Structure 1
Amino acid sequence: MERLRSGLPDEAVVTDPDVTASYANDMASFCASGTPAVVVLPRTVEQVRHVMRTATELRVPVVPQGARTGLSGAANAGDGWIVLSLVKMDRVLAIDPVDRTAVVEPGVVNAVLSRAVAEHGLYYPPDPSSWEQCTIGGNIGTGSGGLCCVKYGVTAEYVLGLDVVLADGRLLRTGRRTAKGVAGYDLTRLIVGSEGSLGVVVRAVLALKPAPAGQLAVAAEFPSVRAACDAVCAIMARGHAPSLLELMDRTTIRAVNDLARMGLPETTEALLLAAYDTPDPAADLAALGELCTAAGATAVVPAEDAAESEMLLQARRLALTALERITGTTMIDDVAVPRSRLADMLDGVAAIADRHALVIGVCAHAGDGNTHPIVCFDPGDPEAVRHARESFDEIMALGLELGGTITGEHGVGVLKKEWLARELGPVGLELQRGIKAVFDPLGILNPGKVL
């Protein structure tokens, strides 16, 4: 504590055990956490460097944190660790309409950045469901996605350059501010998705897009999830580029209705939500609707205006919160499969739910093949907890069997370490551990996470 306080203002160092306990973990279930020794809330790059120099000198583990909305345990602290919370570094430093870039600190909330660049006629596309709370630093750490990924891509595609404080306190600058650049190894892409295990992001240069036209949405009802997935395949095969293409199964629809009274159609087995932000969205939605009807949709209902479109999107964003209310606790999976295997994935999840007698709601970024099976269970029932854990593992195994990946956007953290080894294989795992050793030879940056 003395060493930390020598280079930090008093208000940046928090030791009250009631407060530090609140920083111990993120939102993931089944991920152990410990009691941190201290929480540090820096406001400057130099303060972050001081923390890391101190940690290296005294060999104390450090866990970098954002808003702790993560779902894999990557932000969980261990006993005696330093929690390095970047939420006070929350300035948008620059917005450049000519270069179409923004320079931000890691604690900037995603929605705050989106609104700031919109004032300049620009658009920052990555929009995780927690966009009103999650920070850009956290988004970079997990390589997060969002509803718009089917057209615009994920966080990694918008990070041009980074300032990163390394484990020993040195400052690394990666990437560029130019539209193009291929000088040297791509260290920027290496840092994105590394979950605070290679360095602490303290500044980011982000690419922006011109603001699109207003978005219109459509909701299509299907008698089965396979029919909905057939529609997804037809939409993508015909070259459509919706700004979002989301799927909700019947369990999720009912949960959202119970939470928000949105009047979604509970008699349907699957609801496909699509939207376009093109110059003529109505025509594009009509063409997409024809494909849905051909795939077996029982109803295709376009939104009448932007407000109705936003209501449909809000229903999708409420999925996790709504499913949590069923039993009070959930395990959220994040398995992505090829779009052509999406129906097999959802049918497989339904079979797993039946086998374990559990409620498992599925919502998906269907245009990406990125599914989020959400296992609902009673944490006070040991048998339910056992079945939840087993079903979670079976879902990940199914994803790999279908040619997919154990995580499309939530990261590995603590939750999926064992499964990462299965996906990477021994050679891939060896190389990744070698990279970790180069960046963090003492192993003090978020130890026990990812690898």
Structure 2
Amino acid sequence: MSTLLAQLRDGLPAEAVVTDPDVMAAYAHDMAGFCPAGDSAAVVLPRTVEQVQHVMRTATALRVPVVPQGARTGLSGGANASDGCIVLSLLRMDRILEIDPVERIAVVEPGVVNARLSRAANEHGLFYPPDPSSWEECTIGGNIGTASGGLCCVKYGVTAEYVLGLEVVLADGRLMSTGRRTAKGVAGYDLTRLLVGSEGSLGIVVQATLALRPEPPAQLALAAEFPSMAAAGDAVCRIMERGHTPSLLEIMDRTTLRAVNKLTRMGLPESTEALVLAAFDTPEPAADLAAVGDLCTAAGATEVVPAEDRAESEMLLQARRMALVALEKVTGTTLIDDVCVPRGQLAPMLDGAAAIGEKYGLTVGVCAHAGDGNTHPIVCFDPKDEDEARRARESFDEIMALGIELGGTITGEHGVGVLKKEWLARELGPVALELQRGIKQVFDPHGLLNPGKIF
């Protein structure tokens, strides 16, 4: 331990190496439950690429594992410390280095908060579309690590579609550049896409070149109430089948609506079984909303309420963003799934998750990025009650099994981390798993980068 700390401090400012046990405990884990976290040897907070390289050279020389972290808002245990590791927090590498309105790109360090980048892009008439619910806290580096999504993915896509190039420090301290700044480029294997979603297991992202888009008009939203999840799912299918491209298309079940109301007093309808939120940022959003409203009515909506202005639309979006926080208040702890299924299987997935909750005697609230089939069943439980915690884990596993059975995937945007690694093997199969482990071996032959995650 003394050798490790001495060598780290030899190439880092004194304030960059933290060994205070209370401070290190705060960096031990992300927001996921049921994910073990170890005791790190030190927390390092670099400000430069050279400092990250020094950390990795030291770690490789001494064979010490390194766990990279962003804001620790992840939901799969992917940023949890392991015993004796170096926790490498990239929060202080938080500069927006460039915004180029001609090329429509931003060049940023990994610690830049998502919302801060979005606001900076807005100043140039541009925007950065990926918007996870934690966008006011989560960092671009963390978003890249988990290939995160957000509310507007139905129209604009996920993080992977906006990462053009990366600067990455490898396990041995070498600096590698991937990708490009140009609008097109197909030279060599696409290492950029490989690194997006790798959860810090292949390298440390220290800089990213991101695509930006012209800022769209302000969006308008509507809320549609449905007597069943099947009717709400039917409405989603009708909207997509007719060729509409909403900027947002979400579902919240009655349990979630009640939780949000209790926390925020927004006055959302609690008697309905499902609430669909749709929004458009087109030049004529009112006309698009009217057409979608008609489709919702045809699918069985009992009420369709378009927002009158941008402020009302933002209130509806805020209600959706508060779903996780509100459900956490039910019992204090949640297990959050992010199973993604074909759109046509939304209703069976959401109804099935609710039935699993009833089977285990637990509160399960469900919301979803309905436009791309990404569901978020949220299991509420008391971690101090051993039997309830056991039932929570079993219900979580049944929900994932249901998703795979319906033709889906175990994670749409949260990553595998610790929470879902046994399920990854089931989804991939032995051949794909062997190849992925081989890729890991090429990048990280000593297995030092975020060990125990994904595989």
* TM-score range relative to shorter protein: over 0.9
Compute the displacement of 1:326 (Å).
0.5
Aligned residues: 451
Is 1:374 paired with 2:378?
yes
Compute the displacement of 1:351 (Å).
1.4
Query: Partner residue of 1:170?
Result: 174
Q: Provide the rounded CA distance (Å) in 1 between the counterparts of 2:259 and 2:443.
A: 44
Q: Provide the rounded CA distance (Å) in 2 between the counterparts of 1:98 and 1:429.
A: 42
Q: Provide the rounded CA distance (Å) in 1 between the counterparts of 2:127 and 2:82.
A: 38
How does the TM-score come out when normalised to structure 1?
Answer: 1.00
- Give the aligned residue type for 2:41: A
Is 1:191 paired with 2:195?
yes
Query: Partner residue of 1:122?
Result: 126
Query: Partner residue of 2:185?
Result: 181
Secondary structure of the residue aligned to 2:182 is coil
How does the TM-score come out when normalised to structure 2?
Answer: 0.99
Partner of residue 16 from structure 1, selected from 1, 15, 20: 20
Query: Partner residue of 1:86?
Result: 90
Secondary structure of the residue aligned to 2:429 is helix
Compute the displacement of 1:128 (Å).
0.1
Partner of residue 228 from structure 2, selected from 224, 229, 234: 224
Map residues 265-280 of structure 1 onto 2, 5 A cutoff.
265-280=269-284
Is 1:284 paired with 2:288?
yes
Q: Provide the rounded CA distance (Å) in 1 between the counterparts of 2:156 and 2:365.
A: 26
Q: Provide the rounded CA distance (Å) in 2 between the counterparts of 1:381 and 1:397.
A: 25
- Give the aligned residue type for 1:393: D
Secondary structure of the residue aligned to 2:451 is coil
Q: Provide the rounded CA distance (Å) in 1 between the counterparts of 2:280 and 2:112.
A: 28
Q: Provide the rounded CA distance (Å) in 2 between the counterparts of 1:19 and 1:122.
A: 38
Secondary structure of the residue aligned to 1:24 is coil
Is 1:236 paired with 2:240?
yes
- Give the aligned residue type for 1:112: R
Secondary structure of the residue aligned to 1:64 is strand
- Give the aligned residue type for 1:100: R
Q: Provide the rounded CA distance (Å) in 2 between the counterparts of 1:22 and 1:366.
A: 35
- Give the aligned residue type for 1:279: P
Q: Provide the rounded CA distance (Å) in 2 between the counterparts of 1:45 and 1:260.
A: 42
Query: Partner residue of 2:316?
Result: 312
Compute the displacement of 1:383 (Å).
1.1
Cα deviation code 1:69-97 (max 9, x no counterpart): 00000000011110000000000000000
Query: Partner residue of 1:157?
Result: 161
Q: Provide the rounded CA distance (Å) in 2 between the counterparts of 1:266 and 1:23.
A: 38
Compute the displacement of 1:138 (Å).
0.1
Q: Provide the rounded CA distance (Å) in 1 between the counterparts of 2:230 and 2:9.
A: 59
Map residues 258-407 of structure 1 onto 2, 5 A cutoff.
258-407=262-411
Is 1:27 paired with 2:27?
no
Secondary structure of the residue aligned to 2:64 is coil
Cα deviation code 1:371-402 (max 9, x no counterpart): 00000011111111111000000000000000
Secondary structure of the residue aligned to 2:73 is coil
- Give the aligned residue type for 1:418: E
- Give the aligned residue type for 2:328: E
Which 4+ runs in 1 deviate beyond 3 A?
Answer: none
Cα deviation code 1:106-163 (max 9, x no counterpart): 0000000000000000010000000000000000000000000000000000000000
- Give the aligned residue type for 1:342: L
Unpaired runs of 5+ residues, structure 2, are none
Query: Partner residue of 1:146?
Result: 150
Is 1:97 paired with 2:97?
no
Is 1:412 paired with 2:416?
yes
- Give the aligned residue type for 1:137: G
Is 1:256 paired with 2:260?
yes
Q: Provide the rounded CA distance (Å) in 1 between the counterparts of 2:357 and 2:87.
A: 37
Secondary structure of the residue aligned to 1:163 is strand
- Percent of paired sites with the same residue: 80
Secondary structure of the residue aligned to 1:246 is strand
Secondary structure of the residue aligned to 1:335 is coil
- Give the aligned residue type for 2:276: L
Q: Provide the rounded CA distance (Å) in 2 between the counterparts of 1:353 and 1:51.
A: 45
Secondary structure of the residue aligned to 1:336 is coil
Q: Provide the rounded CA distance (Å) in 2 between the counterparts of 1:78 and 1:183.
A: 37
